[in-house]
Amino acid sequence: MKHLLSAGDLDAGSALQILDSAEQMDAIQNRVVKKLPALRGRTVVNLFFEDSTRTRSSFEIAGKWLSADVINVSAKGSSVSKGESLRDTALTVAALGVDALVVRHPASGAVSRITEWVDCPVINAGDGTHEHPTQALLDAFSLRRRLGELAGRHVVIVGDLTHSRVARSNVLLLRTLGAEVTLVAPPTLMPSGVGTWNCSTSWDLDAALSGKVAGDVDAVMMLRVQRERMGGGSAGDGRPNVGYFPTEREYAIGYGLSPARLTLLPAHTPVLHPGPMNRGLEISSAAADSDRSLVLDQVRAGVAVRMAVLYHLLAGAEAPATGLAEVAPTTEAVREARTA
């Protein structure tokens, strides 16, 4: 695999290989010196045409902890703000001799186009409403740590599905790993063509959480209402009137994870959110701050998973010879330490 553009690029074997490597990478977060020599001498450019905190920061930390040289380039501070095209920007950066590009772009399919113009590996850090494969990997990593293997598990994904690249990538990856997926949203936020996706759908959140749609729920992922992708009018407080539901209060009542809805879930069921959270809208503070919440686990997992992705793409054929065992504990050792 040269690029990571979609969660669909991964079969079960390659996905599990990345997740197992991430287990090993995660162990170094407990060290005083968080450095591995695996990518010494390599240069990674984070090329972000869209604002980001979690994704860009975790890719930057991941590269640096692997001893790569990491350069951040944002549209606001580059020649893009002067009218330079995506193609020219990508070619200019690649001509500097970089070893990998991590790209986020507001247009769906833009990252895939870049692979047609450059020779180095390209990682999709989110493109429009299309996909966000490393987010799906870190979500799977967090779930696997809490639930064990994901085959046969049932995950409910709730919220703004129409504008969510996270939902698309999670459906692809979770199904590849053998999990069942149910998507829940109001009709106006259910994606066009969702009937062709390999998952169940429902407009009734309470029925889904209580197991009436596709059986008991093993995990719930709440998605952010993406006001910035909806546009149109004003909500009266300076924020856009999304137009996909009458009021924020009605959305919270119908599709928010309230304290009452937490009681519908089995005791083992964790709650995820890719962030940033709209507290009081799609998720209550009681849910976000509860013992069920994996929100901070997901942030931590982002560094380990992105380290694993960079390692496998950049080390490539050298990976088996180099061996993570030389620079990090084995997966078995990590698991034994966690259960000791």
pLDDT digits (tens, 9 = 90+) for 305-331: 999 999 999 986 454 434 454 455 555
Tell me whether residue 165 is annotated as binding: yes
Q: How far apart are CA 281 and CA 172, in angstroms?
A: 26
Tell me whether residue 233 is annotated as binding: no
- Checking if the pLDDT of 145 tops 50, the result is yes
Tell me whether residue 76 is annotated as binding: no
Tell me whether residue 226 is annotated as binding: no
* Residue extent(s) of CATH 3.40.50.1370 domains in the chain: 7-132+302-332, 134-296
Q: What is the reported pLDDT for 340?
A: 46
The position carrying tokens 């962030």 is 275
Tell me whether residue 243 is annotated as binding: no
Tell me whether residue 275 is annotated as binding: yes
Instruction: Enter the CATH code of domain 134-296.
Output: 3.40.50.1370
Tell me whether residue 259 is annotated as binding: no
- pTM, 2 dp: 0.89
Tell me whether residue 229 is annotated as binding: no
Q: Pairing mode, if any, of strands 69-74 and 43-48?
A: parallel
Least confident of 59-63, 76-80, 82-86, 335-339: 335-339
Q: What are the φ and ψ backbone dihedral angles of 228, each rounded to 5 degrees?
A: -70, -15
Q: How confident is the model at residue 74 (pLDDT cuts 50, 70, 90)?
A: confident
Asked if 7 and 172 touch (Cβ cutoff 8 Å), the reply is yes
7-132+302-332 is a CATH 3.40.50.1370 domain? yes
Tell me whether residue 268 is annotated as binding: no
Q: What is the reported pLDDT for 86?
A: 93
Q: What is the reported pLDDT for 322?
A: 41
Per the prediction, the chain carries an average pLDDT of 88
Burial class (CB in 10 A: 0-12, 13-18, 19+), 9: middle
Tell me whether residue 135 is annotated as binding: yes
Give the containing element (helix H, strand E) for 184.
Answer: strand 180-184
